DNA sequence: CTGAGGGATTGAATCGATTAAATTTTGGTG
DNA sequence: CACCAAAATTTAATCGATTCAATCCCTCAG
């Protein structure tokens, strides 16, 4: 005769005249419940505007159906596009995305991992601040399943998704050689950055493929890969123009074009310029930029799908390393 | 004499020889625990690498210490910058951010709200897909505390943060009139969009302040506020140039400049152009853009701070409507 | 009519932190 | 030394969904 008020699943159970176990099954394994019963339960849910409490499930199951996305920046369209892909896939698979902007701060990154761990987040996708393997191990300890983005992990350690930057560099320089000529300038970031090293390596491969000696390449290395740095290089290049200029990101390319323009040199008439990354800004300028495009959105999608596979099929899951191939998008700054 | 293995708080309690309540207090209300006891507990935590389970707390307390951020896009630097501010503040206040990209899809937005509700998210910040008040009410029902971003709510309903676009429009046009002359063209998006209507209203105010009749304003209204649309307007404007052109976003402004250039007209020599939004692209072009800057990062920060205030001080909290003032950033396209 | 087999349903323990109320400790005072 | 208030600590109920072993209920074959 107890009229004690009940909440949550129990309230629905009472209303529908079944046990909480059945209500739970209606929600999670509908096939296990007889049609008529299920309908009764669904009606009760509808009638009461019941919203299941994920915290209870998380407590019981030990994980949260959310994925951490830990990236150094969010305003940068490179990461934003990855985030968009991740958000899209997560939505489809009924996971949530916890956005963590590490701001290139290792302390902060670690705090965020602890936060994710407290919440029993199902997994995390990370563009680590440092490639430092020791730190990664720590993160892996604190957190749950970890997937590396834009850094290649050894398959034994875990999953990762990244771009083939060697191929990208090669594409860019091949285009320049074939449409313009053998005298190439490379405007690159610091070679200690793996992506920069790879793009350079690709450039060298392209030269070699055309029988051009490595020493023919004019290399410029800048500390910050910004418009300003590019402009400085553009000014310097104006004195003796190469046939083609490969800049390892789009900001540098825009800067170079600007620097050349200030010296009265017009792109692409007097020299062709290829950028890298194909950020939105490649099309949003007065002179549209020929650029190496990376499938960033798809990478975000695959990151989530891979991680969810690891989470939901722990038993059969094999770690995978996915490498995406870039493509060359030809626009005004280096036409066909 | 039971040697049953314990987990979580209980394990720490046992190890430190105290009750779970005390461990909880060490974690949440350290001042209530005697120094020596606290140290003992902290040592135990340290020794066992214990990570508290937020799900248990959430179950008990009914909320999650996470904030939903529901925005139409993430690649757009306008929203990305807001997200950055929000992530920054959330990090500081020890909240998590759940990123939901609604993609201008009302269905999806609703699903995301239900998801946030299931997780018992503490609150949500929303740039709603539709300004439709009925839907907002639904969302408010499903979710918990709601804060509107970039849409003004009536104070009675809830908190909101937005920009003063009337002031922004006025700033832009005043600059053009004062530095160039009275003949102004306005390149705007659809007037049904509140922001567009406001920026137009500000423009009219500026005209009035200089004794220029409203009918003197040449207005262009485009459906999509893109570079392409701006270019078309630029081409059209070339035949009879105004003194100054105010474009209600930066994409339009770049397009206009491009269109004019194609007709041999040089900005700012023959006409000045002012953009709006001050997206990164304003500086990342060959000709840098004079633009109305909105403090987007700060808005993200204040959104979180306001929402957290509402969450943590339900008793004393007063709803607030915050309006941010834009500023004019003068660059090459419309110099001083 | 009986029993086997299988689908549907239920009972009750469990996850782990929080919290109000109860209890014990401590320190100070008369 | 006894007593009290304040401080520190503990007790035990609670949040709500999941899970699996156990039970119930059909249907059908023998």
- A30 CA to D23 C1' distance (Å): 21
Predicted local distance difference test score (pLDDT) of residue A2: 45
- Please state, as a whole number, how many other Cβ atoms lie within 10 Å of the Cβ of residue A114: 14
Checking DSSP bridges between strand A272-277 and strand B184-188, what pairing results, if any? unpaired
Positive or negative: CA dihedral B309, B310, B312, B313: positive
- Find the largest Cα–Cα distance for chain A: 95
- With an 8 Å Cβ cutoff, are A74 and B87 in contact? yes
Contact B12, B50 (CB under 8 A): yes
pLDDT in tens, B261-294: 889 999 999 999 999 998 876 666 668 899 999 9
For residues B84 and B91, give the distance between their C-alpha atoms in angstroms, rounded to a whole number: 11
The pLDDT of residue A87 is above 60: yes
The pLDDT of residue B45 is above 60: yes
User: Looking at CA atoms only, how far is residue B254 from chain A in angstroms?
Assistant: 7
For residues A246 and A244, give the distance between their C-alpha atoms in angstroms, rounded to a whole number: 7
Bond from prior residue into A209 cis (ω within 30 degrees of 0): no
* CB-nearest partner of B119 from A96, A108, A287: A96
For residues A87 and A92, give the distance between their C-alpha atoms in angstroms, rounded to a whole number: 9
Tell me the mean pLDDT in the region A206-221: 96
Would you call B323 helix, strand, or coil by DSSP? strand
For residues B300 and B81, give the distance between their C-alpha atoms in angstroms, rounded to a whole number: 8
Least CA distance to A285: which residue of chain B?
Answer: B285
- With an 8 Å Cβ cutoff, are B97 and A99 in contact? yes
Positive or negative: CA dihedral A90, A304, A328, A217: positive
Would you call A131 helix, strand, or coil by DSSP? coil
User: Looking at CA atoms only, how far is residue B192 from chain A in angstroms?
Assistant: 26
Instruction: Output the average pLDDT for chain B.
Output: 92
Tell me the mean pLDDT in the region A148-173: 90
Predicted local distance difference test score (pLDDT) of residue B141: 61
Contact A263, A61 (CB under 8 A): no
Using alpha carbons only, give the angle B97, B102, B105 rounded to the nearest 5 degrees: 165
Contact A242, A301 (CB under 8 A): no
pLDDT in tens, B51-104: 999 999 999 999 999 999 999 999 999 999 999 999 999 999 999 999 999 999
Would you call A229 helix, strand, or coil by DSSP? helix
Q: Which of A115, A141, A284 to mutate to test the interface with B (most CBs of B within 10 A)?
A: A284
* CB-nearest partner of B284 from A91, A227, A287: A227
Contact residues on chain A for B117, CB-CB shorter than 8 A = 51
- Please state, as a whole number, how many other Cβ atoms lie within 10 Å of the Cβ of residue B138: 13
pLDDT in tens, B311-336: 999 888 999 999 999 999 999 999 98
Least CA distance to B256: which residue of chain A?
Answer: A286
Predicted local distance difference test score (pLDDT) of residue A1: 43
**Minimum CA–C1' distance nucleotide for A25:** D18
For residues B74 and B92, give the distance between their C-alpha atoms in angstroms, rounded to a whole number: 22
For residues B272 and B289, give the distance between their C-alpha atoms in angstroms, rounded to a whole number: 10
* CB-nearest partner of A261 from B66, B254, B286: B286
- Helix or strand (DSSP H, E) at A220: strand A218-221
pLDDT in tens, A105-138: 999 998 999 999 999 999 999 998 776 666 676 6
For residues A311 and B234, give the distance between their C-alpha atoms in angstroms, rounded to a whole number: 53
- With an 8 Å Cβ cutoff, are A254 and B81 in contact? no
- DSSP character string of B48-72: HT----HHHHHHHHS--SEEEEEES
Would you call A321 helix, strand, or coil by DSSP? strand
- A122 CA to D20 C1' distance (Å): 24
Would you call B204 helix, strand, or coil by DSSP? helix
Predicted local distance difference test score (pLDDT) of residue B152: 80
For residues A47 and A305, give the distance between their C-alpha atoms in angstroms, rounded to a whole number: 35
- Helix or strand (DSSP H, E) at A206: helix A194-209
Predicted local distance difference test score (pLDDT) of residue B2: 44
* DSSP category for residue B267: T
pLDDT higher at A134 or B145: B145
Would you call B108 helix, strand, or coil by DSSP? helix
Predicted local distance difference test score (pLDDT) of residue B259: 93
- B13 CA to D21 C1' distance (Å): 32
Contact residues on chain A for B100, CB-CB shorter than 8 A = 87, 91, 96-97
Q: Cα torsion for B154, B157, B158, B160, to the nearest 10°?
A: -30
The pLDDT of residue A263 is above 80: yes
Q: Would you say how long chain B is, in residues?
A: 336
- A59 CA to D10 C1' distance (Å): 24
Predicted local distance difference test score (pLDDT) of residue B322: 95
For residues A163 and B272, give the distance between their C-alpha atoms in angstroms, rounded to a whole number: 42
Q: What percent of chain B has pLDDT over 70?
A: 92
- Find the largest Cα–Cα distance for chain B: 95
For residues B9 and B53, give the distance between their C-alpha atoms in angstroms, rounded to a whole number: 9
Predicted local distance difference test score (pLDDT) of residue B133: 64
Cα B93 → chain centroid: 18
Would you call B290 helix, strand, or coil by DSSP? strand
- With an 8 Å Cβ cutoff, are B75 and A73 in contact? no
For residues B259 and B273, give the distance between their C-alpha atoms in angstroms, rounded to a whole number: 12
The count of C-alpha atoms lying within 13 angstroms of the C-alpha of B144, restricted to the half-sphere facing its C-beta, is 24
* DSSP category for residue A104: T
Q: Which of B74, B259, B273 to mutate to test the interface with A (most CBs of A within 10 A)?
A: B74
* CB-nearest partner of A84 from B58, B101, B118: B101
Question: How far from B90 is each of B68, B168, B248, CA to CA, in Å?
Answer: 11, 28, 31
For residue B1, what pLDDT band results from cuts at 50, 70 and 90?
Answer: very low
- A6 CA to D19 C1' distance (Å): 21
For residues A290 and A256, give the distance between their C-alpha atoms in angstroms, rounded to a whole number: 13
Tell me the mean pLDDT in the region B120-136: 82
- With an 8 Å Cβ cutoff, are B285 and A254 in contact? yes
Alpha-helical (H) ranges within chain B are 8-16, 20-28, 35-48, 54-61, 77-93, 106-118, 133-142, 165-179, 194-209, 227-237, 250-262, 296-312
Q: Which nucleotides of C are covered by protein (CB under 7 A)?
A: 7-21
Strands, sheet with A327-329, edge to edge from the N-terminal-most edge strand: A218-221, A184-188, A244-247, A272-277, A290-293, A327-329
Instruction: Output the average pLDDT for chain A.
Output: 92
Using alpha carbons only, give the angle A115, A120, A121 rounded to the nearest 5 degrees: 80
For residue A139, what pLDDT band results from cuts at 50, 70 and 90?
Answer: low
pLDDT in tens, B217-235: 999 999 999 888 999 999 9
Interhelix angle B106-118/A77-93, rounded to 10 degrees, is 70
* DSSP category for residue B316: T
Binning chain A into helix, strand and coil, the percentages to the nearest 5 are: 50, 15, 35
- With an 8 Å Cβ cutoff, are A281 and B286 in contact? no
- With an 8 Å Cβ cutoff, are A81 and B75 in contact? yes
For residue A50, give every residue at least 6 positions away whose Cβ sits within 8 Å of its Cβ, in sequence order, or none: A8, A11, A12, A44
For residues A76 and A168, give the distance between their C-alpha atoms in angstroms, rounded to a whole number: 20
Bond from prior residue into B289 cis (ω within 30 degrees of 0): no
Give the gyration radius of chain B's Cα atoms: 26
Alpha-helical (H) ranges within A65-193 are 77-93, 106-118, 133-142, 165-179
Give helix then strand counts, H and E, for chain A: 12, 12
For residues B251 and B281, give the distance between their C-alpha atoms in angstroms, rounded to a whole number: 9
User: Looking at CA atoms only, how far is residue B213 from chain A in angstroms?
Assistant: 34
The pLDDT of residue B117 is above 50: yes
């Amino acid at each position: 005769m107890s009229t004690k008020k009940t909440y949550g699943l129990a309230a629905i159970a009472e209303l529908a005249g079944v046990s909480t176990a059945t209500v739970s099954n209606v929600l999670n394994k509908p096939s296990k419940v007889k049609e008529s019963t299920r309908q009764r339960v669904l009606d009760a849910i509808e009638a009461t505007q019941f919203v299941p409490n994920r915290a209870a499930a998380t407590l019981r199951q030990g994980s949260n159906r959310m994925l951490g996305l830990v990236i150094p920046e969010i305003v940068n369209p490179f990461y934003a596009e990855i985030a968009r892909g991740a958000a899209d896939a997560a939505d489809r698979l009924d996971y949530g995305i916890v956005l963590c902007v590490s701001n290139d701060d290792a302390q902060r990154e670690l705090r965020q991992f602890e936060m994710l761990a407290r919440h029993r987040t199902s997994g995390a996708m990370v563009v680590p601040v440092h490639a430092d393997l020791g730190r990664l191990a720590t993160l892996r300890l604190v957190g749950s399943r970890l997937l590396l983005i834009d850094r290649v992990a050894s398959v034994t350690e875990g999953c990762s998704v990244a771009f083939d930057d060697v191929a990208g560099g090669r594409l860019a320089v091949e285009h320049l050689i074939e449409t313009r000529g053998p005298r190439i300038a490379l405007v690159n970031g610091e070679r200690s950055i793996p992506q920069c090293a790879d793009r350079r390596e690709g450039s060298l491969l392209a030269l070699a493929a055309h029988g051009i000696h490595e020493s023919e390449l004019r290399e410029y290395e800048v500390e910050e890969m910004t418009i300003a740095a590019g402009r400085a290089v553009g000014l310097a290049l104006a004195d003796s123009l190469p046939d083609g200029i490969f800049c390892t990101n789009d900001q540098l390319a825009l800067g170079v074009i600007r620097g050349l323009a200030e010296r009265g040199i017009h792109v692409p008439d007097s020299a062709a310029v290829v950028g890298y990354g194909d950020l939105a800004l490649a099309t949003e300028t007065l002179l549209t930029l020929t650029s190496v495009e990376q499938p960033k959105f798809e990478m975000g999608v695959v990151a989530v799908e891979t991680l969810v596979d690891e989470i939901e099929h722990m038993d059969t899951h094999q770690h995978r390393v996915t490498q995406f191939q870039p493509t060359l998008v030809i626009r005004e700054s280096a036409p066909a």
